[in-house]
Amino acid sequence: MQDKGSDQKPLFFLSYARSPQADSGGADPNSWVKKLYDGLCEHIMQLTDLPRGAKAGFLDQGVAIGTRSAEQLSANVAGCRVFVPLYSPRYFVSEQCGREWWAFSQRQINQRVRGGTSATGAIVPALWVPVEPTQMPQVARDLQFNHAAFGEHYAEEGFYGLTKLRYFREDYERAVYLLAKQIVRVADEVALEEGHAYSDYESLPSAFPSNFWPPAPKFDVSIIACTRSDLPPGRTPVYYGDRSRDWNPYHPASTMPLGNHAADVIRAMDYDVRFRDFDLDADNTVRPGARAPGILLVDPWVLRNPTHRALLSQLDEVAPPWLTVVVPWNRQDPGSHADKGPTLAELEAVMPRLLRLSRSSSRTAVGGVATLEALHEVLPRVVRHAVEEFTGSIQNSSYPFPRLRGPDPNAEAHGDRAT
């Protein structure tokens, strides 16, 4: 079932929120989670051909947050094949649990963007204490897992209730066994590629916003890029489509448009993403009715189009501080590094203000994001920066919102757009 070389990679990662010990002392309340974990590991060893000494699972058993090294947590999230979040009201307000969920979900997103097999079923939630959907962030509500399949009493009480009530002992044992079977089935059927351990794990975002509420807060993803119909002379069309949002600068490493990938990452941070083709909808970026944090993905090759240059220059004068620029610059794209290709100095001359503001969140974001992996590292930082700027600036009701002199929406052809 598992390559011998991956014996030290856990089959599953049990993610849970630690319960504080009562003021009166007594037994560690988290010992019941350890009992559940041990039961799952025992069943999994029987249900699989894992060799002796292999890690059936991983459970952070540090006595307090931070006692286990961030490197160990990151490595186990990156190496496990199934992620098992243990739901409770405390779980969804835990930054640590949200970080574990986010790090695991990035493996699913990366596999999808690279054109790999779907791995959306690799998260198997379990109930410690039942939680109402209204108490869950969007990422958890989207799973739509049928907990009643593990037993009616389990769905009503969760593992904690079954553990504490003796007459539910058989229900508890049955639910543990069925959860173990589900973990094994998912590990066999969902071919999730191994991820990479984050060197800055503790700075990763949480998949749960600090004060989530339905619906999820808005976040804008704007794109200004060439299309196949308006490419500069000599520019290869392989990275482009019929619309700006079809732009895929990391081809062939990525099999999906850049905007879709960015949206997946931002949705994993529990935001409701709105797409904007910036050159068609420029005013929505700054008008009061559409105020939301956002990022602008810029294709440097638009600098060869006078209309686009003028639009970016106008934006640089009036854009709100919560619009953060990201400039993908594929290291494997020979055209972007040729003598006649656009340069960062040209972009700096057109948008000096926005690049300066964006550089405070990430120098890499505006200096040219060379690889898909680098983009994956940069996006959470720029999203957090945009949200922080928005939160701070939105309190100033006098913030000006001038209108851009954008393209004429009635123009029939790209060449007829007003500048």
Determine phi and psi for 99, rounding to 5 degrees.
Answer: -70, -40
pLDDT of residue 77: 94
| 240 alpha-carbon distance from chain centroid | 24
Cβ-contact 99, 138 below 8 angstroms: no
Among 357, 363, 390, 360, smallest CA distance to 378 is for: 363
- pTM here is 0.68
pLDDT of residue 335: 82
pLDDT of residue 348: 93
Distance between CA atoms of 147 and 164, rounded to whole angstroms? 19
Distance between CA atoms of 293 and 313, rounded to whole angstroms? 20
Distance between CA atoms of 256 and 130, rounded to whole angstroms? 37
pLDDT of residue 49: 93
pLDDT of residue 26: 57
Mean pLDDT per 10-residue segment, the chain (419 residues): 56 91 65 94 95 89 56 91 95 92 90 72 94 87 90 94 88 96 94 84 83 68 92 92 93 90 85 76 51 90 91 88 92 82 92 91 88 87 88 59 42 34
pLDDT of residue 403: 44
Q: Where are the beta strands (DSSP E) in 270-381?
A: 272-277, 294-298, 323-326
pLDDT of residue 275: 84
pLDDT of residue 362: 84
Q: Which fold would CATH assign to domain 4-202?
A: Rossmann fold (3.40.50)
Tokens 């009643």: give the residue: 148
Task: Please give the helix or strand (H or E) that residue 353 lies within, else none.
Answer: helix 352-359
Structural domain boundaries of the chain? Answer: 4-202, 215-416
Neighbouring CB atoms inside 10 A of 391's CB total 11
Determine phi and psi for 414, rounding to 5 degrees.
Answer: -60, -35
- Residues with Cβ within 8 Å of 281's Cβ and at least 6 positions away in sequence, in order, are 222, 406
pLDDT of residue 274: 86
pLDDT of residue 221: 92
